[in-house]
Amino acid sequence: MPETSVSLLERLRLCPDAPSWQRLVDLYTPLVRAWLQRQGLQPADADDLVQEVMGVLIRELPGFEHDRRTGAFRRWLRGITVNRLRVFWRSRRGQPLGVGGSDFGQVLSQLEDPESGLSRDWDLEHDRHVARRLLELIEPEFEPATWQAFRLLVMEGKSTATVAAELGVSANAVRIAKSRVLSRLRQEMHGLVE
C-alpha cells in the first residue's frame, strides 16, 4: 500500500479502493469476532454477526463524518456492533443471559453508555488491537534492520545504546528507525485511535 498522508478512513470515504477496504476488514474482523465471542455467542453466530457488522461498516462508511472527538470511529463501530447484536437477540425471540449470567439487556445498555466500564473496556481493547494489528500490517513496508531496531527499542524496551550495539549500528540509526516506524504507525492510526 503506498504511503499517503490521508488516513485509511479518509481514503475509504473519498476514493475507496480494494486494498483500503481489505485493510479495514483485516484490521477489524478479528476484534469484532473476539469481542462477540466473549459476549457468549457461539463461533458460528459470532461469524455471522461479524459479517453483518462489516457489511454495515462498508455500506455506511462513506457517510461517516469524524467529529474530531476522541474515539469517534470506535464509538461508531461499537454502536454498529451493539445494534447488530440487539437485532440478533431479537430474532432469537429470547432474552438470553450475558456473560456471567447477567441480563443481556443490561450488557447492551452498558455498551451504549460511553461512561460504563464495559464501554471503557471496549475502547481500551479497540485501541490495543488496532495498534497491534497495524504494526503487523505495516511491518513488510520496512527493511528488516529498521523493523528489528524498532522492535528492540520500542516493543522490548531496550535502551538505544543496547540496540545499537546489538545490531552494530549507530544510536542515531536506531532513533531514525524508531521515528520512521512510529511516523508510519501514526499515519495509519489517524482517525482510528486517538
178: domain CATH number is 1.10.10
Q: What is the pLDDT of residue 93?
A: 63
pTM of the model: 0.69
Residue bearing the bigger pLDDT, 90 or 106: 90
CB-based contacts of 179: which residues, under 8 Å, 6+ apart?
none
Closest CA to 32 of 89, 79, 99, 94: 79
Residue after which a domain boundary falls, among 133, 154, 182: 133
Are 115 and 19 contained in the same domain? Answer: yes
Q: What is the pLDDT of residue 179?
A: 96
Q: Give the total number of structural domains in the chain.
A: 2
What cell was used for 115?
Answer: 461512561
Q: What is the pLDDT of residue 40?
A: 78
Domain-located, residue 60: yes
Q: What is the pLDDT of residue 107?
A: 67
Residue bearing the bigger pLDDT, 99 or 54: 54
Looking at residue 98, its amino acid is: G
Are 122 and 150 contained in the same domain? Answer: no
pLDDT of 56 higher than 70: yes
Looking at residue 180, its amino acid is: R
Domain-located, residue 1: no
Closest CA to 48 of 98, 102, 91: 91
What is the span of the domain harbouring residue 165?
Answer: 142-194
Rounded Cα distance, 156 and 37, in Å = 30
Residue after which a domain boundary falls, among 113, 133, 153: 133
Domain-located, residue 2: no
Instruction: Give the tens place of pLDDT for each residue, 139-173.
Output: 999 999 999 999 999 999 999 999 999 999 999 99
pLDDT of 101 higher than 60: no
Q: What is the pLDDT of residue 156?
A: 95
Are 170 and 115 contained in the same domain? Answer: no
Rounded Cα distance, 99 and 114, in Å = 19
Are 105 and 56 contained in the same domain? Answer: yes
Mean pLDDT of the chain: 83
Are 21 and 117 contained in the same domain? Answer: yes
Average pLDDT value for residue range 177-188? 93
Are 90 and 178 contained in the same domain? Answer: no
